[in-house]
Amino acid sequence: MSQPHARTEDDILVVEIDGPLAILTMNRPNKRNAMCDELLDALDAFFGTPPEGVRAVVLTGTAGHYCSGLDLSEHVARDAEGTMRHSRNWHRVMDVLQFSGLPVVSAMFGAVIGGGLELAASTHVRIAEPSTIFQLPEGRRGIYVGGGASVRVGRILGADRMCEMMLTGRKYNSDEGLALGLTHYAVGEGEALDLAKDLALKIAKNAQLSNFMMIQAISRISDMSRADGLFTESLAAAVSQTSADAGEGLKAFLEKRPPVFR
């Protein structure tokens, strides 16, 4: 059952705790949930110190949109150093989100544009409804991505396709996004949040250590040489497979029952 939380429906990031899940709703309906420093800070604060007992997170938007990117109406003129530092803060917060140890499932619809796509790409499972639009329009606005798309979105699409996407301002729909890997699931209208909760609950039942290892190791291994990646895999296997949860998983399998992890 949902539990009360200190935040309210008027907050820029609405947080609902439902058992082992936290459902985070970006709440700027008049701005298509465009990212601003206050919203970025709210995400940073949540993932920096998540509530005790939360084992998985659902991230979504409101009023028909996930996140339409950086709010250009609140653009602050910065010099080169200030722009670099602002970009690096985005990188830091996206890293906090990706590597907090909590699996994050994105329920997406409407705008998943610019910084919104950078945000989604830092989450671990992505679900898109038919209304979803994926776009990196920065190149058409005389600017360049600064929230991590060169790395995260570029890794999904490949450098060649991402370059074309930015040069042309091309938009992808949910089915195209599924084929390209921008989303892992393409669902019907109004179905993303329910599936996100179902998947997050399933993930929350995994051993926390194995979830942590998957989140921490897999993306880092993809940056390593083959030899370094294989060695790192052996270390992750050694830590997880000698844990109490691994023992419970094996015992549950032999006893033909669901495991009960810590």
CA distance readout (Å), 219 to 36, 155, 222, 226:
27, 10, 5, 13
With CA atoms as reference, report the closest residue to 69 among 153, 179, 9.
153
State the amino acid at position 64 in one-letter form: G
Q: Respond yes or no: is residue 138 known to be catalytic.
A: yes
**89/85 Cα distance (integer angstroms):** 6
Six-digit token string for 65 = 């949109």
Q: Respond yes or no: is residue 129 known to be catalytic.
A: no
Contact 101, 211 (CB under 8 A): yes
The three-point CA angle 62-68-71 to 5° equals 110
Query: Catalytic pick from 9, 38, 74, 118?
Result: 118
Query: Catalytic pick from 129, 138, 176, 248?
Result: 138
Residue 203 CA, chain-centre distance (Å), reads 14
Six-digit token string for 10 = 């008027």
Which residues on adjacent β-strands are paired with residue 134? 112, 172
Instruction: Name the residues annotated as catalytic.
Output: 118, 138
